[in-house]
Structures are given as C-alpha cells and as structure tokens.
Chain A
Amino acid sequence: MDPISVPAPPRSAYNPNRRVSDLLYSQLQHFQHIEKKRGDLGIDPAIAANIHTEGGAAIYIAAVTNALRGTTSNSALPVPATTAAKKSAPPRKAPKKSTQKSTRKR
C-alpha cells in the first residue's frame, strides 16, 4: 500500500485574529473562574483583558495553564503583555530555537 500524501492548509488559513468561538468563550470563562478562585496566579491584567481573539485568548490560556501546572520550561516563556483587543497577538521571535521537533508549527 503506497503512502498517502496529506496536504497542509494554505498559510492563509491561519488567523489568530479570529474572534473566539462559543467553545473558546466557555473555556475562557472556566479559566477566569479558576483565576478568581485562586486569586494568586499572578496573571498580567493586560493578558487577562486581551482575550477576544484566538491569538489573545491563547496567551491568557497559556499563562493560567502554566500557573496551574507550575511550569517553568520553554512553554512558560514570557508572552507579549500588550496587544490591542482586536489585533492579533504579534508574531513572536524565539529567544532560542526549540530543541524539540515541531508538530504542527509552521
């Protein structure tokens, strides 16, 4: 059986400016619930406020997830503290190359 080629989506499919879906909105509410309940997670208020787009929401979700997991690996690298609510999180430059194989990083 010959290997089957699996095409990638075009780069234009990637849109961190997309507004959060109902699903992500619920996920964010759950993270906000925890942040309020714990009260000591140290999340930057600017990150917590900028959650209207997928890119912005992802930064907040990463911050709370890392706080809950106590993570200090490269996954806890500083994230942009300010991005306007209706703009995407800006492309970030890596302080260093990841040593791990990228999965769906493009």
Chain B
Amino acid sequence: MALDRTLPGIQTLKHVVVLMMENRSFDHMLGALKATHPNIDGLTGNESNPDTTGAQVKVQPLAEYQSQLDPDPNHHFAAVNLQIFNNTQHGPPLPPTMQGFIASYFNQQQNTAHSHDILYYFTPDKLPVLTTLATQYATFNRWFASIPGPTICNRAFAHYGTSFGQVSMDVFYEGKPFQAIYNRLLAANHTCKLFYYDEASSTMEVVNLLQNQPSLFGTFQDFLNACKQSALPDYCFIEPNYTDHPAPDGSGEAIACDQHPDHDVRAGEQFIAQVYNAIRTNPNLWPNTAILLVYDEHGGIYDHVPPPACPPDTPFIAQPADTGTLDSFAFDRLGVRVPAILISPWVAAGTVINDVFDHASIPATVSDFFQLPNAPRSQRETNANTFLNNLTLTTMRADNECPSFVVQPANS
C-alpha cells in the first residue's frame, strides 16, 4: 500500500530509528499480553508441544531473566525445520505444526525436564519496558524473521533486503547486485548511521559494511550525543551490546544488553528504555521520529504461529548442503515470529497490526519514506509490506499520554 503522505505524522516525520535485539520469540516475550489485550495474538495457555516421552507439555509463564536457556537453543536452519515441521530433513509440503520445539531443545542436552523450558514465557510485569511499549504504541502480530535460521543472515535482510542466498552465519556480499540501504540513502544525499554499542561489541556487519565503509558506524554514546544535540541522522540502525566486557573507555562493566540467551533480559530492557528515552525526552526529536523495535530471530524459542509462505527471493536458492536438510530453500517462506513494535506519538495506543512483515520491510519502508531513486532491489524487498502508514493519528499524543521510563542503577 502506498504511503499516505497526507497523514500529519508522515508530514512531520524526519527520522527513522531501528533497534534490532537478539533471539527471542513473540510468544516468549509478548505472548502473555493476550490475557489483557485479546487482539494481541499471544498465548491462551493451552498451547503445547510433545516432549520426548510423548507427554503433551503446555506453555507456562515461568521464563526467567537468565540461566534458563543455557545452552543457547539451536536455531540453525535444520533445527528450525524441526521446530516448525517436526522434521529435521524436510519442510513443505509438511504442515508447519510448531510442534518440534521441545524435541529440538532436547537434542542439545538429552534432558527431558530442561527441554520443557523452551516453552516458557514472560509475564508482563517482568518486562515493563517491552510490554508497556507494546500496549501503548503499535504491536505487530505478524512480524516474522526473514529466514528460518540464525542471526547474521536474518540481519542481512534488514540491511540489504536479502541475504544473497545465505541461510547461515557466513554472509559475504562483496560484488553482489543489491546495495545496502545505507548506500542508497547516501547516494540520495540522506544521512544515516549504524550505531554499535561500543567497539568491543562492534557490529555483525563485519565483513561487509565495517570492512568497506567504516565511516557508516558510530557508538551508542554517539547516538545518545546525537539525540542530545538534536543531530540525529535521517536513518539510524542500532545494535545492542553482544558481550559482557570491561568498557573500552575504562569506565566500568559493559553488560550485554542484546537479550541473546543466556544474557540477562533486564539489561536489554534498560537498553530499550535508554533508546526510547533519548528520543522521547527531546522535544525536537520526539514529534518527528519513528522507532521500530524488532528482534532478529526467535532463537529457537517457542512461538505458536506457523510462519507463512512468501514470494521467493529469485534467483537465490540455498542448496541442501547449506540448509543441512534434504531440501533446497528458495527463500519462499518466513522464519519464526518475533516481537516488533512501532513507536511514535502519532501511533494510537493499543494499535495492533495484522499484516505480514519481515526484516525486508525495513529497507522497503526506508526507501519508500525517503523516496529513494529506483535502484535494483531483491524480490523479497520488492514484495515486502511497509509500516509507516500506521502513524494514523491526526493529532499528536500529549506528553502525559506517552509512557516514560526511569532506568535504575545496578546496586547489588
């Protein structure tokens, strides 16, 4: 659907900020909201998977911040096949039953009791930032990972609109036909930046953008400074801290805030709040900035919604040697559903979006909004839905109608 440029929120909009977190499924983080917000497609409490004894195990609100999903649940292509189709070797035409999550996690430790943890989900009180943003702005009921696979190929869709045929972590794009959204923006005289947390965490775009265009990057502190100075680039992509490490500037401990298992989820909550606060508290930015908070993939954690088919990413096909299954993959179906929230004072509280999105929607939306000149784009990006039409309000929400967060210091 074409962007309605008569919307006041679109006429005001100047900046788009994308924050991409790590490895949590929709139901794991937001599924409990269905009890109080029935239009959010979360959990009823009756969803289940069989364990390896044949017992049906129900989802439970027992997710913990840390130490529960260790080892890291497998989320490579074959494991995700098992999770979705209950079969490691074949996908469609098998039905996507979402019945293989416990079986997949059991494979890692052969521990029946521990394998049940993959069905655990958070109660809203444990995730005050994420659940407040979800209920106070717009929640996507159907935002899926771009590929039923791991991080780097999924993140590639956010940058390029494709992974150039890769379903793994080894994504090398040199000499490939489609340019990153950053190159397209720069060519059209727009400003843009990828903000990694710090140089010790750096980026997952190592072999491509960091190697070839290091000037595209800044740190999270640079992002905060840009917000403070009302000097935000037109488009910003933010990466969280991927490791626990001593801060490179010597100021203390930098705790991982990506929410990747087994990192503490609370650190990610604080990080999300910091990004939000930096924009929300600046009256020069808040009216004219849209924030997309999204997770890169489900991390092997249970979700109940079968991923849909999508137009193939012609001409790319991953061969069985790459998928680790007996099937090739034409990038013609999406990965598991992830949390995604659109934040803007022009979005009505309690909005729920039911159209299908994936990370190719990010460059598609940015290209559309900034009216970038036509450039070669992947089939997946060409066919992806865009999301800024959800800035539907005719009047901006008042300050006291928008939530604010107070980030508490660590003290024990």
Contacts and interface: CB of A to CB of B under 8 A. Distances in A.
A4 B199 contact: no
Contacts of B199: 61-62, 65-66, 69, 71, 75-76
Given A27-B204, A54-B244, A62-B199, A106 B211 contact: no
Contacts of B254: 104-105
Interface of A: 1, 3-11, 13-16, 18, 20-24, 26-27, 29-31, 33-34, 54-55, 57-59, 61-62, 64-66, 68-71, 74-77, 79, 89, 91-98, 100-106
A58 B249 contact: no
A12 to B, nearest CB: 9
A8 B206 contact: no
B411 interface: yes
Nearest 9 A/B pairs, CB to CB: A94-B250, A58-B245, A26-B169, A30-B206, A13-B264, A58-B200, A9-B264, A62-B200, A54-B243
B139 interface: no
Given A8-B410, A69-B214, A103 B220 contact: yes
A60 B346 CA distance: 43
Given A65-B210, A94-B251, A106-B255, A15 B244 contact: yes
Interface string B241-264: 111111111111111110010111
Nearest to A12: B412
Secondary structure at the B interface, as helix, strand, loop or mixed, is loop
A8 to B, nearest CB: 4
Given A9-B410, A92-B246, 14 more contacts: A4-B404, A5-B408, A6-B270, A7-B266, A11-B412, A23-B242, A34-B211, A57-B245, A76-B248, A91-B246, A94-B249, A102-B252, A104-B274, A105-B253
Given A61-B199, A68-B214, A101-B224, A3 B405 contact: yes
Interface in B368-411: 400-411
A93 B251 CA distance: 8
Contacts of B255: 9, 13-14, 104, 106
A98 B132 CA distance: 33
B224 A103 contact: yes
Contacts of B409: 8, 106
B249 A61 contact: no
B59 interface: no
